[in-house]
C-alpha cells in the first residue's frame, strides 16, 4: 500500500475505532508476529485473555487492506507461525485453542476479502483497457485530502462488518471462557 493511503487508513481507522468500538483499545507490542503498518486493538476479557482486531494494510504493491480478529489466552499478541491460523466453525471448537487469528471475511464468505482504496479500486485491472489507467494511477501523486476521501468508505464498511460479525463472535468467545 502506498504510504499516503497507509497513513490515511491508519488515522481514519483509529478515529472510527475510538468512536464506534471504544472498548477496543490500541495495543502496542514489539511482537515479531506483527508486520510494519499493522494496527492492533484489544479488549481484555479478564487477565490474561485478550481479544484482538487487527488492521492489515497490504504489504504488496496494492492499495488495499483486510481485517483479522482473534484472541490469546496467554495475554499477548498471538504467537502463531501463520496468520490467519484458523476459521470460525459452527460448533465453535476453535474456542478451545489458546490462540487464534482468522479473517473477518470468514464470517460471510470463503473468499479472502480485501478492501481496495483509491483510483485503482474502481478499475478492473484484468481488463486491458483499464490496465493503462491503473498503471497511471499508481504513479500519480496523492494529496492527503484525496487519501482521506479514498479510505473513508472502505474503513466505514469494514467497521460495519466488525460490528456485525466480529464483536458478536468475540462476545460468544467471552461467554464460552466464563463458562469453562
Q: What is the mean pLDDT of residues 55-75?
A: 93
Residue 98 has pLDDT above 90, yes or no: yes
Residue 27 has pLDDT above 70, yes or no: yes
Question: Which of the two residues, 83 and 124, has the higher pLDDT score?
Answer: 83
What are the sequence ranges of the domains in the chain?
3-179
| Residue range 34-46, pLDDT digits in tens | 999 999 999 998 8
Model confidence at 140, pLDDT cuts 50, 70, 90, reads confident
Q: What is the mean pLDDT of residues 51-72?
A: 93
Give me the DSSP letters along 130-145: HHHHHHHHHHS---HH
Q: What is the pLDDT of residue 128?
A: 72
Model confidence at 60, pLDDT cuts 50, 70, 90, reads confident
Longest dimension (CA), the chain: 57
Q: What is the mean pLDDT of residues 49-68?
A: 93
Q: What is the pLDDT of residue 14?
A: 98
| DSSP state for residue 163 in the 8-state scheme | I
Q: What is the mean pLDDT of residues 31-60?
A: 93
Closest CA to 55 of 47, 46, 45, 67: 67
Name residue, grid cell 514489539: 30
Residue 12 has pLDDT above 70, yes or no: yes
Mean of the per-residue pLDDT values of the chain: 91
Q: Do 42 and 96 form a contact (C-beta atoms < 8 A)?
A: no
Half-sphere exposure of 112 (CA within 13 A, CB side): 8
- Using CA atoms, how far apart are residues 178 and 55, in angstroms rounded to an integer? 27
Question: Which of the two residues, 178 and 42, has the higher pLDDT score?
Answer: 42
Amino acid at each position: 500500500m502506498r504510504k499516503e493511503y497507509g497513513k490515511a487508513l491508519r488515522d481514519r481507522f483509529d478515529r472510527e475505532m475510538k468512536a464506534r468500538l471504544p472498548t477496543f483499545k490500541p495495543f502496542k507490542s514489539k511482537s515479531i508476529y506483527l508486520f510494519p503498518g499493522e494496527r492492533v486493538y484489544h479488549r481484555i476479557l479478564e487477565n490474561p485473555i485478550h481479544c484482538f482486531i487487527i488492521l492489515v494494510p497490504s504489504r504488496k504493491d496494492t492499495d488495499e487492506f483486510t481485517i483479522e480478529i482473534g484472541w490469546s489466552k496467554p495475554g499477548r499478541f498471538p504467537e502463531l507461525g501463520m496468520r490467519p491460523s484458523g476459521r470460525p466453525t459452527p460448533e465453535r471448537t476453535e474456542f478451545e485453542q489458546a490462540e487464534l487469528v482468522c479473517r473477518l471475511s470468514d464470517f460471510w464468505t470463503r473468499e479472502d476479502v480485501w478492501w481496495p482504496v483509491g483510483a485503482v479500486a474502481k478499475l478492473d485491472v484484468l481488463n486491458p483497457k483499464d490496465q493503462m489507467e491503473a498503471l497511471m494511477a499508481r504513479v500519480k501523486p496523492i494529496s492527503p485530502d484525496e487519501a482521506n476521501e479514498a479510505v473513508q468508505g472502505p474503513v466505514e464498511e469494514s467497521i460495519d462488518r466488525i460490528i456485525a460479525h466480529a464483536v458478536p463472535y468475540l462476545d460468544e468467545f467471552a461467554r464460552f471462557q466464563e463458562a469453562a
